[in-house]
Chains A and B, each alone.
Chain A
């Protein structure tokens, strides 16, 4: 009996492995086909804007697996990381403060509503006027733009705490501080994380935008200059690298979220 059920489990495990491999294969054939089509269609392309993919790949490895990566891409990533980290801290702290008080929301709402309605990229010129074309401009625009969704999500999260849990905490005479740390903030985590994710995407967009608009260094600036000086291959490698970075950043975030919120997903599964 025991042996049979073990065999059954093994069979299910093997099946789920097969299933997984099958799913990956099904998911992979479309991108493979796209790349293949691009490769063959552009193989002897004479259109200056669409050079052969083989040349783009060659230039890509030449550029980005070299010192150029450190001098061009690392400064962008550094600005992005600093700006985003500041946005997380500011968004969560102020969100908790504002969300915790009813009068705070009344006073802050019109200002937040207005600032978040400005397209994030359009705030960059404002920071250029204030800070010039310095690193401070880039970090400040990333921070302000990315902190808005985090701030709003935190306010909503703290406010929409489970009534039963808050009441229970009150019955057990938890102090306001304990209520905040033990009930309101943990309950707000799923919402805060959705704000953090939106903030991350905005931080990346503004990182690139601040480099497009304030010429100088960074991957965005490199790509735009390549476009303007008609270095089409360089421009393509820049665009592809930025796209890959944007995608990777999201993947990393998903992993972090899944790890930090596994208690929440566990709860949802049980329900």
Chain B
């Protein structure tokens, strides 16, 4: 009964979403075929759809997709491996935290895109370049996030532990790390989405391999439907990644009251 009810409500909930998607596609098709944009060389829905099918049925697409994912994943793992221990360390010492705060904030705020010209010079349009950019983007924000979590440990709990003569290590293990865990979880989720974006940007701006470069090449050769189709794929990919990360997190830290 219950599952039936929820399914019925889901079906009833679907139409507005479906209607607006169909409406948006229809508007796009009309505008580019008979409407105000017809004279420009903007690809229509049909042309983009054809390019999309061609793209998805070519093996090259999956090679590029794999390259993008590789850069994102390797960069993400390296950044986490650097940032989480660093964040814990600077979070434990008040002096270290205050010493690094300004520097880390500065590099966190600087958009990674501005360093691309120098990175291209040094590393060239390679995968290493994409990985470096991903690491550079994630590492400072993640270290700050972890440090904030470590510092947010309950002061009363820490005092109590000190009174009972528990050592620094137990304090870290039972007060600091548990308080940092939710902060780290949020940071990991944001970092995962950001890693994919930066891996794409590295290709699009810096010519690193992957789907970003696919767009760059399609645009440079004037293959507009292919440009549109690849950007479309990126949108879908972005939705999938954010859904997947949310789902994983809900499964793995179900004990965490959010």
Contact = CB atoms under 8 A, between A and B. Distances in A.
Given A111-B20, A213-B205, A243-B114, A130 B238 contact: no
Most buried by B among A49, A103, A118, A119: A119
A29 B117 CA distance: 28
B212 interface: yes
Contacts of B42: 129-130
A208 B113 contact: yes
B116 interface: yes
A28 to B, nearest CB: 7
A121 B98 contact: no
Interface in B126-168: none
A126 B205 contact: no
Given A227-B121, A246-B110, A209 B231 contact: no
Contact of B20 (A29, A107, A117, A126): A107
Contact of B21 (A111, A123, A250): A111
Contact of A239 (B99, B115, B234): B115
Interface in B199-214: 200-201, 204-205, 212
B3 to A, nearest CB: 23
Interface stretch (B50-58, B101-109, B176-184): B101-109
A106 B16 contact: yes
Interface in B212-243: 212, 215-216, 218-219, 224, 227-228, 231, 234-239, 242
A86 interface: no
Given A110-B20, A129-B42, A247-B109, A115 B235 contact: yes
Contacts of A129: 41-43, 219, 224, 227-228
A118 B109 contact: no
Interface residues of B, number: 54
A180 interface: no
Contacts of B20: 107-108, 110-111
Interface string B72-116: 000000000000000000000001001111110010011101111
A23 B98 contact: yes
Contacts of A103: 16
A232 B121 contact: yes
B136 to A, nearest CB: 12
A64 interface: no
B1 interface: no
B17 interface: yes
A111 B21 CA distance: 7
B99 A107 contact: no
A245 to B, nearest CB: 8
The binding surface of chain A is classed by DSSP as: helix
B24 interface: yes
Given A30-B103, A34-B103, A117-B239, A201 B111 contact: yes
Given A121-B205, A122-B231, A125-B215, A27 B113 contact: no
B21 A239 contact: no
A235 B117 contact: yes
Nearest to A240: B114
B167 to A, nearest CB: 27
A112 to B, nearest CB: 10
Most buried by B among A111, A117, A247: A117
A12 to B, nearest CB: 21
A242 interface: yes
A114 B98 contact: no
A238 B117 contact: yes
A7 B84 CA distance: 46
A205 B16 contact: no
Contacts of A226: 117
A243 B105 CA distance: 13
Contacts of B235: 114-115, 117-118
Interface string A23-40: 100111111001000000
Interface string A8-52: 000000000000000100111111001000000000000001000
Contacts of A62: none
Given A106-B17, A204-B111, A223 B117 contact: yes
10 contacts: A26-B98, A26-B99, A30-B102, A119-B201, A124-B204, A129-B42, A208-B111, A227-B117, A235-B117, A238-B117
Interface of A: 23, 26-31, 34, 49, 103, 106-111, 113-115, 117-119, 121-126, 128-130, 201, 204-205, 208-209, 212-213, 223-224, 226-227, 232, 235-236, 238-239, 242-243, 246-247, 250
Pairs A-B, 5 closest by C-beta atoms = A117-B238, A242-B114, A106-B16, A27-B102, A118-B235
